[in-house]
């Protein structure tokens, strides 16, 4: 491999040097001013000249007569007469050049051999030898850099290919693991469903018994309430006619809500609306619910709601009756009931299998055993499900990486995830290759995302000469931040510079041996066109 690349390299340097001599030797071939050697035969002095676009044939004397005849400017290569003309300078000793013919004799030296300024007295010096020497020196330096970096690049290629094939193997293994994990998940699900069905059956008996119990209790409470209300009513229904009149009600001190020593019209309005009397049935079903709390308060067994309990502060030792608590208890009972029923068909909704849905003491040994078994089955199913999810996430990750373009020969594959830092006066920049770019102010504050891996964005000749990171944090009143990383050959993978040429558009320069490809060096040939 080394011999092959060295040979190419030497060939390139030799070609470059030989070409310069060839151009030197051929630059004497007679042709009109500004015409490249390759086009000399089209300008034969003994023939009429035909414009390159074929639209017109003119006497040869019209060529370079400072008058534009051809639409394509081909008759005036050596003057500024045609707007679209092209002037060719041989630049012997350096690279030939094509310049717009409008620059001919414009007082500015464009060609290093000075041929574009032939009309001025002082002319332009020929500095091609000097520039050519510098260019050859630079070309030599770059060729040597590429040669030196190439061996590192070959290592990167080897490692990259290895990494890729390992990823392929991992993926194949994960496929197998996934199939196995899915099988286990299905088994666990079947087992869980079976055990939950059994569990549900036994809990049904408990739920029914509890429901009966609840209904019985409610019935008893209702009876008790009717009893109390009736007793109260009878006590004040002096004439025992089943109706409380206003006179009879005036005896009920509880009705004196204003505490002014008498039961007045306002009080009546409150308890019996605009009626004059209340019968026993209405009293029991409606009025009693207003009277009872007052009675309890009077007996100091009512704990008023937090807001207005100042006036009725219960004694610390008292065990106050709390009507709201009674309601709350009912709620709790309902919740408990649900909790007991916990491991029923809705069990999937439980977040974690370790959540204890039952109060063990509530159930007989056999029921408890079934509940425990179902809980364990739920736990195992959740675990199996998680395992499948984890394998799938791993697979997605590897698949994403396998889809990434790591260069023609995988030379960039091992650089994925490698982070490079660069500090300037204000910021620390971090480029994590194929992942993201961030910026952190030295004055504190968090990292600002300057873009996530997007795509290769080099030239048509070499798309791997630049990377683009897009969709960074939005700029204030502006677009999302983006970063372009220009890549060049270097013996180390590192950041060389960071700049922000336009607001929130960042430019990084990075060197890496992955870019040291001798074969991709610009090709110089004996061809005299640019």
Half-sphere exposure in the Cβ direction for 287 (13 Å, CA): 27
Instruction: Give least dist CB 471 to ligand MAN, A.
Output: 15
Nearer CB in complex with ligand MAN: 137/502: 502
Of 15, 167, 395, 448, which lies in the binding site for ligand MAN, with binding defined by CB under 6 A? Answer: 448
Question: By CB under 6 A, is residue 476 in contact with ligand MAN?
Answer: yes
Q: Which of residues 345-404 bind ligand MAN (CB under 6 A)?
A: none
Question: By CB under 6 A, is residue 227 in contact with ligand MAN?
Answer: no
Binding mask 493-512 for ligand MAN (x = CB under 6 A): -------x--xx--------
Strands 278-279 and 97-100 turn out to be: unpaired
Nearer CB in complex with ligand MAN: 505/528: 505
Instruction: Give least dist CB 472 to ligand MAN, A.
Output: 9
Q: Which of residues 121-180 bind ligand MAN (CB under 6 A)?
A: none
Of 79, 410, 439, 484, which lies in the binding site for ligand MAN, with binding defined by CB under 6 A? Answer: 439
**Could you tell me how far CA 297 lies from the centroid of its own chain?**
62
**Could you tell me how far CA 318 lies from the centroid of its own chain?**
61
Instruction: Give least dist CB 498 to ligand MAN, A.
Output: 10
Nearer CB in complex with ligand MAN: 437/489: 437
Backbone angles phi, psi at 305, to 5 degrees: -60, 150
Question: By CB under 6 A, is residue 475 in contact with ligand MAN?
Answer: yes
**Could you tell me how far CA 363 lies from the centroid of its own chain?**
50
The conformation of residue 107, written as its DSSP 8-state character, comes to: S
Residues 6+ positions from 249 with CB-CB distance below 8 Å: 236, 255, 263, 268, 271, 272, 278
Instruction: Give least dist CB 420 to ligand MAN, A.
Output: 18
Nearer CB in complex with ligand MAN: 250/448: 448
CB 68 within 8 Å of CB 90: no
Nearer CB in complex with ligand MAN: 412/506: 506
Nearer CB in complex with ligand MAN: 358/450: 450
Burial-class residue 228 by CB neighbours within 10 Å (0-12, 13-18, 19+). middle
Backbone angles phi, psi at 101, to 5 degrees: -65, -15
Strands 466-470 and 243-244 turn out to be: unpaired
Six-digit token pair at 314? 């219960």
Nearer CB in complex with ligand MAN: 185/430: 430
DSSP codes of every residue in 67-85: S--STTSTT-TTSS-STT-
Residues 6+ positions from 321 with CB-CB distance below 8 Å: 296, 301, 302, 303
Question: How many residues contact ligand MAN, by CB under 6 A?
Answer: 7
CB 300 within 8 Å of CB 318: yes
Nearer CB in complex with ligand MAN: 64/484: 484
Instruction: Give least dist CB 504 to ligand MAN, A.
Output: 5
Nearer CB in complex with ligand MAN: 9/438: 438
Nearer CB in complex with ligand MAN: 13/475: 475
Which residue, judged by CB position, is nearest to ligand MAN in the bound state?
476
Instruction: Give the three-state DSSP class for 108.
Output: coil
Reported in sequence order, the residue ranges of 419-463 that DSSP labels E, i.e. its strands, are 419-423, 427-432, 436-441, 447-456
Give the DSSP H/E element, type plus range, for residue 489.
strand 482-489
Instruction: Give least dist CB 450 to ligand MAN, A.
Output: 8
Half-sphere exposure in the Cβ direction for 228 (13 Å, CA): 14
Instruction: Give least dist CB 501 to ligand MAN, A.
Output: 11
Residues 6+ positions from 176 with CB-CB distance below 8 Å: none
Return the closest-CA partner of residue 194 out of 388, 373, 363, 341: 373
Crossing angle between the packed helical segments 128-236 and 288-298, to the nearest 10 degrees:
90
Nearer CB in complex with ligand MAN: 280/440: 440
Return the closest-CA partner of residue 221 out of 319, 338, 323, 340: 323
Nearer CB in complex with ligand MAN: 97/482: 482
The residues binding ligand MAN (CB under 6 A) are 439, 448, 475-476, 500, 503-504
């Amino acid at each position: 491999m080394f011999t092959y690349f060295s040979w190419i390299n030497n060939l390139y340097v030799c070609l470059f040097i030989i070409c310069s001599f060839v151009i030197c030797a051929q630059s004497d071939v007679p042709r009109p001013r500004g015409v490249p050697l390759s086009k000399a035969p089209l300008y034969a002095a003994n023939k009429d000249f035909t414009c390159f676009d074929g639209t017109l044939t003119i006497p040869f004397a019209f060529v370079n007569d400072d008058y534009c005849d051809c639409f394509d400017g081909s008759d005036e290569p050596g003057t500024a007469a045609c707007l679209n003309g092209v002037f060719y300078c041989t630049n012997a000793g350096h690279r030939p050049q094509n310049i717009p013919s409008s620059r001919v004799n414009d007082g500015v030296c464009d060609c290093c051999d000075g041929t574009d300024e032939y009309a001025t007295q002082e002319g332009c010096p020929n500095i091609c030898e000097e520039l050519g020497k510098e260019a050859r020196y630079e070309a030599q330096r770059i060729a040597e850099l590429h040669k030196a970096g190439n061996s590192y690049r070959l290592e990167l290629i080897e490692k990259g290919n290895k990494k890729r094939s390992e990823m392929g193997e991992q993926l194949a293994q994960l496929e197998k693991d996934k199939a196995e994990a899915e099988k286990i998940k299905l088994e666990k699900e079947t087992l869980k469903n079976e055990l939950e069905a059994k569990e549900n059956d036994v809990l049904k008996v408990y739920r029914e018994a509890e429901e009966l119990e609840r209904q019985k209790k409610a019935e008893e409470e209702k009876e008790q309430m009717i009893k109390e209300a009736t007793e109260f009513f009878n006590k004040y229904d002096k004439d025992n006619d089943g109706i409380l009149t206003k006179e009879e009600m005036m005896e009920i001190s509880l009705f004196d809500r204003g505490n002014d020593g008498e039961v007045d019209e306002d009080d009546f309005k409150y308890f019996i609306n605009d009626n004059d009397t209340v019968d026993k049935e209405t009293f029991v079903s409606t009025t009693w619910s207003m009277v009872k709390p007052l009675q309890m308060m009077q007996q100091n067994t009512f704990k008023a709601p937090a807001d207005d309990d100042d006036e009725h502060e219960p004694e610390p030792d008292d065990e106050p009756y709390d009507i709201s608590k009674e309601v709350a208890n009912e709620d709790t009972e309902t919740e408990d009931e649900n909790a007991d029923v916990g491991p029923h068909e809705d069990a999937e909704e439980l977040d974690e299998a370790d959540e204890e849905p039952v109060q063990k003491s509530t159930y007989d040994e056999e029921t408890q055993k079934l509940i425990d078994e179902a809980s364990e089955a739920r736990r195992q199913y959740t675990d199996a499900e998680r395992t499948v999810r984890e394998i799938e996430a791993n697979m997605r990750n590897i698949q994403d990486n396998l889809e990434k373009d790591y260069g023609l020969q995988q030379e960039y594959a091992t650089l994925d995830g490698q982070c490079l830092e660069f500090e300037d006066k204000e910021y620390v920049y971090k480029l994590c290759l194929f992942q993201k770019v961030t910026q952190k102010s030295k004055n504190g504050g968090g990292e600002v995302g300057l873009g996530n891996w997007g795509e290769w964005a080099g030239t048509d000749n070499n798309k791997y000469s630049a990377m683009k990171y897009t969709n960074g944090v939005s700029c204030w009143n502006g677009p999302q931040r983006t970063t372009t990383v220009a890549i060049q050959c270097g013996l180390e993978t590192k950041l060389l510079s960071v700049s922000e040429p336009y607001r929130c558009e960042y430019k990084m320069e990075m060197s890496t041996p992955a870019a040291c490809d001798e074969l991709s060096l610009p090709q110089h040939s004996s061809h005299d066109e640019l």
